[in-house]
Structure 1
Amino acid sequence: MVLEAISKNFFLYLSNNKVLDRLAKRYGSRFGADKIVGGEKFSQAIPLIEQLNEEGLEVTVDHLGEFVNSEAEAKERKQECIETIQSIAHNQLNSEVSLKLTSLGMDISEQLVKENMEGILAEAQKYGITVTIDMEDSSRCQATLNMYKTLKAKYDNLGTVLQSYLYSTEEDLKDLHPYDPYLRLVKGAYKESGKVAFTEKESVDENLKRLIKTNLLNGHYTAVGSHDDAIIDYTKKLVEEHGISRDQFEFQMLYGMRNQMQKDLKDEGYTVRVYLPYGEDWYGYFMRRLAERPANIAFAIKGIFSK
């Protein structure tokens, strides 16, 4: 457990290293990232989405990128999202879209990110495509939820994410109840202080179970974002015990992870959605995945030594 904690902290530290991020962009995703990232451009991800759809799996795509510092770049990210939505519709893909508000200018101005989001949501609404706002670190949590509530008043095709490792999340869930939220519930993947987050896995897991139960019993659509057998089994038993329709929830898993579990759940009749990221800014995402699951390090090692 100590070694695992050290490994997790190490990779979370690396995820925020700007020098390594620049090197990653320069040398590409050869260090195993192609096993969990769908390519640097959305066109490269399309065949993967088609294959997943053929296997009976649904998808959400995320154009990777965070911490945009210029208005021009934020508008470029907005246009990329719009073009992705149009491509999803044109290719008749069974896919939603996920995005981060920092990629659309949240750290620049509230008005900028609101305008960019409205452009994206209006386009997605034309095609009946749902857009999910990914949650970022705790310092941006409240701003993200505030923006979600503002936009949800106008757009129904909008979801967001809550992370069970934050102390505040249970209250956040109560606060979102009047908005009939579509929520992806996850444990969380950022390095956080013990002042704002649970540090013990058991506490994070128990809080996630509470969130899943509350949101489902409140009648809201729930995406259970977990690769953990215990969380998946808990959800199965919960919905059976309370007679909750399978149309009210889904399991979400990351591309390239627990592939057999994804297939098994689909074969059992559950909705399974695969989170498929793409883009040049894959480095931070890749490091956080290594931190979450030490077994993922094998992808990197294989990439380093493969020709």
Structure 2
Amino acid sequence: MIRRTWQAAMIGLARSNTVQSFMQNSRATSFLRGKYVAGDNGDAGCARAVSLFKSSGIRSSMFFMGEYVDDPALVKETLRQKLAVADAIAAHQLDIHISVDPTQIGHVITPEAVEDHAQTIAQKVRELAGPSTGVHCLMLDMEDASLNTPTIALHNSLQDKGLPVALTLQAYLRRTWGDMEQQVRRGSRVRLVKGAFAAGPKLAFQSKAEIKHNSRRLIELMFSDTAKECGFYPIIATHDTILHTFTIETARRNGWAQGEYEFEMLLGVREDVAKTLADKGERVRLYVPFGRDWWPHAVRRIGENPANAALLIRSLFQ
């Protein structure tokens, strides 16, 4: 209950225009931006991605920040930024891996336009990738529970058109087992995350133990014989080293080799763990956000764990 209340409060702060304006213009909060964000623009984001790959072999998923966008001009700018960073990353011969929230490309304003916008990005990724090796895709992020069904439908539609697309599913939701079974049969690329949103007991598991148990069940499904036969690509997005070990053990037991799956983590969160995994030969990717609207992303990182309250207090009172 405490965790859910904390998460709900942080989501409220993330969506408050007043709080966002104050935080993003306060010198006191600059350390949060520096911790979780690559920079204000695509050039800074691309530079971080290049540095990560050259220094540690760690790949990146590029994310121009913004969510629940209700301004058509900002939707247009978001689309421009996503396409521009795809060009920039391709020029460095890195994975063209672009993360997108459906609400930042029009879902709040004109849901019927979202697929066209997502298709534009996915087509760009396919064009730039050509025959080059790598994990090139439009990665659809998953937002609150109300977006599950439309996001999955968007993914399936793009996939059916032969476009390079991937999907995020959340371990905290009860429905995810069924959703994952469907994606395994489709031979999809799926990023499994814990889930940083708040939802009631009818929709979601409430305790950390329940969510971790469901994560293990889902990982076993993602590395099943059926998943391998269908060409499924597992992406385990967690900072939990116990789940990392469980994933590697499950993969080896079921005949999956390094490079047939990957781990993903967040920029600024336990990057030492990401480097250790990469040093062991595992394929690792960091979620690399960039842009000026950094507050919603940063406060969600704080909201994922009540123990992070000290970070928020420091930003308010230092």
TM-score, structure 2 as length reference: 0.88
Contact 2:302 2:311 (8 Å CA) reproduced: no
2:267 is matched with which residue?
255
Q: Which moved more, 1:117-126 or 1:89-98?
A: 89-98
1:225 is matched with which residue?
237
Cα distance in 1, alignment partners of residues 279 and 44 from structure 2 = 27
Cα distance in 1, alignment partners of residues 236 and 206 from structure 2 = 21
- SS at the partner of 2:30? coil
Cα distance in 2, alignment partners of residues 159 and 126 from structure 1 = 17
Contact 2:46 2:85 (8 Å CA) reproduced: no
The offset of 1:53, in angstroms, is 0.6
- SS at the partner of 1:32? helix
1:292 is matched with which residue?
304
Task: Please give the per-residue CA displacement for 1:228-274, whole angstroms capped at 9, x wherever unaligned.
Answer: 12211110111121121222211111011112211111111101101
- SS at the partner of 1:127? helix
State the aligned residue count: 305
Q: Which moved more, 1:264-273 or 1:40-49?
A: 40-49
Cα distance in 1, alignment partners of residues 2 and 218 from structure 2 = 29
Cα distance in 1, alignment partners of residues 181 and 3 from structure 2 = 33
Q: Which moved more, 1:192-201 or 1:19-28?
A: 19-28
1:36 is matched with which residue?
36
Cα distance in 1, alignment partners of residues 157 and 6 from structure 2 = 39
Cα distance in 2, alignment partners of residues 32 and 304 from structure 1 = 11
- Residue 221 (structure 2) aligned to one of 214, 220, 232: 214
The offset of 1:109, in angstroms, is 2.6
Contact 2:96 2:125 (8 Å CA) reproduced: no
User: Does residue 199 in structure 1 map to residue 206 in structure 2?
Assistant: yes
Contact 1:68 1:74 (8 Å CA) reproduced: yes
Task: Please give the per-residue CA displacement for 1:105-151, whole angstroms capped at 9, x wherever unaligned.
Answer: 01223331111111111111112231100000001110110111111
The offset of 1:298, in angstroms, is 5.7
- Residue 283 (structure 1) aligned to one of 295, 304, 316: 295
Contact 2:61 2:286 (8 Å CA) reproduced: yes
- SS at the partner of 2:263? strand
1:271 is matched with which residue?
283
Contact 2:106 2:113 (8 Å CA) reproduced: yes
Where do 5+ consecutive residues of structure 1 fail to align? none
1:46 is matched with which residue?
46
- SS at the partner of 1:65? coil
* 2:206 alignment partner AA: T
1:58 is matched with which residue?
59
2:79 is matched with which residue?
78
1:182 is matched with which residue?
189
* 1:238 alignment partner AA: T
- SS at the partner of 1:60? strand
Contact 1:35 1:299 (8 Å CA) reproduced: no
The offset of 1:297, in angstroms, is 5.2
User: Does residue 108 in structure 1 map to residue 109 in structure 2?
Assistant: yes
Give the 3 Å change call, closer, same or farther, for CA 101–212 of structure 1 in structure 2.
same
Cα distance in 2, alignment partners of residues 49 and 297 from structure 1 = 29
Task: Please give the per-residue CA displacement for 1:179-219, whole angstroms capped at 9, x wherever unaligned.
Answer: 21100001100122222111011111111111111122112
Contact 1:59 1:275 (8 Å CA) reproduced: yes
The percentage of counterpart residues that share the same residue type is 27
1:142 is matched with which residue?
149
Cα distance in 2, alignment partners of residues 163 and 107 from structure 1 = 21
